[in-house]
Amino acid sequence: MKAIVTGAAGFIGFATTRELLRQGFEVVGVDNLNHYYSVELKKARLENIGDTSAFRFVKADISDKEQLELAIGSEKNVDVIVHLAAQAGVRYSIENPSAYVSANVEGEVRVFEQALKYSSCPPVVYASSSSVYGGNRKVPFSEDDRVDDPVSVYAATKRAGELLARSYHHVHKLKTTGLRFFTVYGPWGRPDMAPWLFTDAILEERPIKLFNYGKMQRDFTYIDDIVDGVVTVTKKIMKEPEKVADIYNLGNNKPVPLMEFVEAIEQATGKKALTELCPMPPADVKKTYADISRAERDLEYHPTMSINEGIVKFVNWFKRYQGK
């Protein structure tokens, strides 16, 4: 079984690649190693995959047609593409919207076009986001809810990716499944996300910013639970594509108030947080909450990691990685 994984040096891409390899896949990883956050962290993830003949990494920008063709155009017998490459980060999309259109819209089109060029026309599992639910007030968020009220450029590009997937299925019969991830955290996570930012600040006794004056909730989902869903969809879309839906929520189904999240980090670090209450940024939402009933039904998806256990695992890894 051969999988192409885009974004293989990213947080979810790295963890997914490692699990696919563990389950006997041959994996070709693609990533442009951009400077949105530490390239050294991305390289460290790739090194942590291990020395295996079943993995080949190639540096390429998925939004560049020639680079992508050169990187993976000659691959044979591709069974599936797991498209996890993206320009991440909600707030950064206010500063640099063109980066999101390039990676998340143009890049996805390039990946779909590349899939069509293979004689096997492999199915594509791609990353979407809980951000597509935007200003929706009904919770938990269901895949059947309307998603036409994005509150950030990031969310709009992720929704555009979903619509493009439907178009490619309608016109070209390309089988695709999108995964709406809900606030993924854990070891090897991103430095721009709250677990990293808060843990680093608390250990260094710097204040942390609590947006909306601390009155926020997130459906924090541990990386291993997310990867379980990604790999299950990947294997099922290869064998039984007709039994896989076009969109799934992958979340924990347990929203955590921001102050409880901070308390979990305080307990894991043994230090008290210094806090600064701030208003809500314009691209944020107050609450995310995943309805995972569809994933439970089709994928037997059952996340198990509690926020307290998950944060302990993250903090222990963070201390080792940072030498603290």
Average pLDDT, stretch 194-206? 97
The answer on pLDDT for 284 being more than 90 is no
Look over the chain and give the mean of its residue pLDDT values, rounded to a whole number.
96
Q: What is the DSSP string of 146-209?
A: -----SSHHHHHHHHHHHHHHHHHHHH---EEEEEE--EESTT--TTSHHHHHHHHHHTT-EEE
Instruction: Tell me, yes or no, whether 99 lies in a domain.
Output: yes
Provide the token pair at 81.
């593409």
Q: What is the pLDDT of residue 209?
A: 94
Instruction: Tell me, yes or no, whether 226 lies in a domain.
Output: yes
CA distances from 64 to 110, 153, 292 (A): 8, 21, 35
Instruction: Tell me, yes or no, whether 312 lies in a domain.
Output: no
Q: Which residues, 6+ apart, have CB-to-CB distance to 17 below 8 Å?
A: 5, 8, 27, 29, 49, 55
Q: What is the pLDDT of residue 30?
A: 98
Average pLDDT, stretch 36-63? 95
Give the burial class of 54: count Cβ atoms within 10 A of its Cβ; 0-12 exposed, 13-18 middle, 19 or more buried. middle
- Domain total for the chain? 1
Average pLDDT, stretch 171-186? 98
Rg (CA), the chain: 19
| Model confidence pLDDT, tens digit, residues 292-317 | 999 999 999 999 999 999 999 999 99
pLDDT grade, residue 135 (50/70/90)?
confident
| Residue count of the chain | 324
Instruction: Tell me, yes or no, whether 232 lies in a domain.
Output: yes
Of the candidates 9, 12, 83, the one whose C-alpha atom is nearest the C-alpha of residue 46 is: 9
Instruction: Tell me, yes or no, whether 111 lies in a domain.
Output: yes
Give CA angle at 264 (260, 265), nearest 5°. Answer: 120
Phi-psi region of 206 (alpha: psi -120 to 50; beta: other; left: phi over 0): beta
Is there a catalytic annotation at residue 289?
no
The answer on pLDDT for 215 being more than 90 is yes
- CA pair distance 265, 202, nearest whole angstrom: 8
| Model confidence pLDDT, tens digit, residues 51-96 | 789 999 999 999 999 999 999 999 999 999 999 999 998 888 989 9
The CATH number covering residue 158 comes to 3.40.50.720
Give CA angle at 84 (99, 114), nearest 5°. Answer: 85
The answer on pLDDT for 102 being more than 80 is yes
Q: What is the pLDDT of residue 51?
A: 78
More confident residue, 175 or 323: 175
Instruction: Tell me, yes or no, whether 262 lies in a domain.
Output: no
Catalytic residue among 126, 154, 222, 301: 154
Instruction: Tell me, yes or no, whether 22 lies in a domain.
Output: yes
pTM of the predicted model, to two decimals?
0.96
Provide the token pair at 270.
């043994």
pLDDT grade, residue 281 (50/70/90)?
confident
Of the candidates 76, 159, 85, the one whose C-alpha atom is nearest the C-alpha of residue 125 is: 85
Domain extent, residue 246, equals 2-186+221-251+289-304
Q: Please give the DSSP secondary-structure letter assigned to residue 204.
A: T
| Model confidence pLDDT, tens digit, residues 239-264 | 999 999 999 999 999 999 999 999 99
Q: What is the pLDDT of residue 283?
A: 77
3-state secondary structure of 36: coil
Give me the residues paired with residue 28 across strands.
Answer: 4, 56
Q: What are the φ and ψ backbone dihedral angles of 135, each rounded to 5 degrees?
A: -85, 10
Instruction: Tell me, yes or no, whether 147 lies in a domain.
Output: yes
